[in-house]
Amino acid sequence: MSAGMPLASWKSQIFESVLGFLPDWVQITVLSLVVLAVVASWVVKIRRRIAQRRAVRSGPPVQAAAQQGQGSGADHLGPYAPRPQQPSGADFLGAYAPGQRQGDGPA
């Protein structure tokens, strides 16, 4: 009834062959640690799902009052805010801009 294909994947075969050379107490310890890691990942995943459900049930979070002069979210980019650009060319004449004189208006 065998189709000539191994039932286990190549990863599990390598894992079993490496463990086969180790003493029994090391094999048991390694397998226990692998099982412990899998169970711990399940526990963390379940705790995150529970926390997410509680957050959805409790409603939207309360926004804290922003400090004076400080925005939040998209209003406050901090060090990532674009630098203000100084006008250039005809928009900015600097010291060469014509001065405003008193009485030089259209008559």
Better-scored residue on pLDDT, 9 or 89: 9
Question: Taking 80 as the threshold, does the pLDDT of residue 104 lie above it?
Answer: no
- What are the residue ranges spanned by the domains of the chain? 23-57
The owner of tokens 């310890």 is: 29
The pLDDT tens digits for 10-68 are 888 887 888 788 888 888 998 899 999 999 999 999 999 999 998 888 876 655 555 55
Distance of CA 89 to the CA centre of its chain: 42
Band of the pLDDT at 100, cuts 50, 70, 90? low
> pTM above the 0.75 mark?
no
Which tops the pLDDT comparison, 41 or 5? 41
Q: HEC string of 49-86?
A: HHHHHHHHHHCCCCCCCCCCCCCCHHHCCHHHCCCCCC
Q: Under a CB-based contact definition with an 8 Å cutoff, are residues 19 and 27 in contact?
A: yes
Beta carbons within 8 Å of 31's beta carbon, 6+ residues apart: 19
- Mean pLDDT of all residues in 69-73: 58
Instruction: Say how many C-beta atoms besides its own lie within 10 A of residue 30's C-beta.
Output: 14
pLDDT band at 82 (very low <50, low <70, confident <90, very high): confident
